[in-house]
Amino acid sequence: MSVTTSSHAVVGTPLRPLRRGRDNAILGGVCGGFATRLGIKERNIRVIFALLTLIFGLGILLYMTFWLVLTRSGEEHSIIQQIFQDRHEAQVVLIGFIATIVLIIALLTTGSRTTGGFGWPLLLSGFAAFAVWRGASSDERSHLSEFFNSAPVIGTAFSKSRKVVILRLLIGAALVFFGLHELDRIGGFWGSTASALFGTAVLVFGVGILFAPWWLQNVRELTSERRERVRIEERANMAAHLHDSVLQTLTLIERSAANEGDVMRLARNQERELRQWLFSPETLTNAPTSFVGLIGAIEHDVENDYGVRVELVTVGDCVPDDRVSTFTAAAREAAINAAKWSQAESVSIFTEVEPASISIFVRDRGVGFDLDAIPADRQGIALSIRQRMSQLGGEAFINTEVGSGTEVQLVMPRAL
């Protein structure tokens, strides 16, 4: 009756929307995105953008525009959409845009030739970079900061010798100094330096284009190396934890295989511990610093001591004070009571922390009892729960009926 196949259902070419690349991204993933969409090698697209850059920086401007407008693969909104979703961000970015335009106009009027070449595309691209940084998703942001952090002083990856690096820095600094001096000599930044600036810019871009691929490759290798290292460390931690807890428990289970109760208890204990480790590591500290932590301790103890499963559901949390501790102690008695007497396989505990009050419900679907005919030993427990609750200014209700289980409701106001 049961069939398992591994045949393939999808026929035809997969849909490839134009999205910025994620795995094949160096910076923003624009080239990678085009490569995926068109089925061309990324390198070719990058060369095209680099060549376009030679035409007054067009390539860079285009790249930045696509970066803003295209949605990153795996995300729902493009950067520009993200910016306009947040009013504050939108304002900041709009102000940036206006400032850029004003700057461009100012440059156009003061030294028209300065902006004739690379000036305004570069300024616009600079603004776009700013917008990208403001609007990028946190994931993309961490990708970018990792990218820039791992970019060393350009070239350190190429020659590891310190001497060479120092030499390069000296030469670079000397050149910059000389260039500034020359600029000053021919009449300063605002003088008739358009051609000089243009020449310099072309030169810089030329060098950048020549060396960028090689530099980026180095950077990428570094980044992936670092990621790999983090991954290995995480794996080691995980292995250590699994060894300490899971493996030990499994050995114990093998040893006590004959005793069903023990096996059950061990398995449950381990399950709870692993769950906590996986899903709420913040509650792992030994001294509970939260209300939920205190309740979790009840779950742990009741399951351990009575072999009864506890279904715990918590809504909200708070920092426990003395009153909350007394309150949880009352709940503990109720839970132990249910585990001991109800004969039910499981006990449900539900807690809710609200602004004005905290409630705990302990419920079992066990035998129940007749409230009017309680044996003396159990009357005592009910009494002690009630007394504690009235001390706290709260209330305790016990709903029970023979054959349909018991529910203890505890409610405490958060402030007296």
Partner 1 sequence: MTDSAKPRVFLVDDHELVRSGIRAEIASSVDIVGEADEVEAATEMILERSPDVVLLDVHMPDGGGQAVLRAVMEHNTTTKFLALSVSDASVDVISVIRAGARGYVTKNISGPDLVDAIYRIAAGDVVFSPRLAGFVLDAFSTGANDQPVVVSDPDLDQLTTRERQVLRLIARGYSYKDIAKELTISTKTVESHVSSVLRKLQLSSRYQLSHWASERHLN
Region near partner 1 per CB under 8 A, out of 4-12, 31-39, 162-170, 199-207: 4-12
**Shortest Å distance, C-beta 233 to partner 1:** 20
Pick from 86, 233, 305, 311: which binds partner 1 (CB under 8 A)? 311
4 near partner 1, judged by CB under 8 A: yes
DSSP string, 89-147: HHHHHHHHHHHHHHHHHHHHHH-TTTIIIIIHHHHHHHHHHHHHHHHS-HHHHHHHHHH
283 near partner 1, judged by CB under 8 A: no
Residue 274 near residue 333 (C-beta atoms within 8 A): no
Q: How far is CA 402 from CA 22, 369, 375, in A?
A: 62, 5, 14
Binders of partner 1: how many residues, by CB under 8 A?
Answer: 33
**Shortest Å distance, C-beta 11 to partner 1:** 11
Residue 341 near residue 366 (C-beta atoms within 8 A): yes
Distance CA 159, CA 178 (A): 25
Q: What is the DSSP letter of 411?
A: E
**Shortest Å distance, C-beta 384 to partner 1:** 23
**Shortest Å distance, C-beta 68 to partner 1:** 20
Region near partner 1 per CB under 8 A, out of 61-69, 82-90, 309-317, 321-329: 309-317
Each residue 349-388 as x (binds partner 1 by CB under 8 A) or -, in order, gives: -x-xxxx-----x-x-x-----------------------
Among 229, 242, 228, smallest CA distance to 278 is for: 242
**Shortest Å distance, C-beta 161 to partner 1:** 42
355 vs 375, beta carbon nearer partner 1: 355
Residue 326: Cβ-neighbour burial (10 angstroms; 0-12, 13-18, 19+): middle
4 vs 161, beta carbon nearer partner 1: 4
279 near partner 1, judged by CB under 8 A: yes
- Dihedral of the CA atoms 102, 106, 112, 113 (nearest 10)? -80
Pick from 188, 191, 316, 413: which binds partner 1 (CB under 8 A)? 316
147 vs 350, beta carbon nearer partner 1: 350
Q: What is the DSSP letter of 283?
A: G
Residue 347 near residue 364 (C-beta atoms within 8 A): yes
19 vs 46, beta carbon nearer partner 1: 19
Site for partner 1 in 56-85 (CB under 8 A): 74-76
Distance CA 358, CA 389 (A): 12
Residue type, 339: A
How many Cβ atoms are within 10 Å of 346's Cβ, its own excluded? 16
Pick from 139, 184, 234, 244: which binds partner 1 (CB under 8 A)? 139
Q: How far is CA 327 from the centre of its chain?
A: 35
The two tokens of residue 372 are 């009017």
416 near partner 1, judged by CB under 8 A: no
9 vs 258, beta carbon nearer partner 1: 9
212 vs 318, beta carbon nearer partner 1: 318
278 near partner 1, judged by CB under 8 A: yes
- Which H or E run contains 413? strand 406-413
Site for partner 1 in 172-231 (CB under 8 A): none
Q: Which residues bind partner 1 (CB under 8 A)?
A: 1-10, 74-76, 139, 275, 278-279, 311, 313-316, 318, 348, 350, 352-355, 361, 363, 365, 407
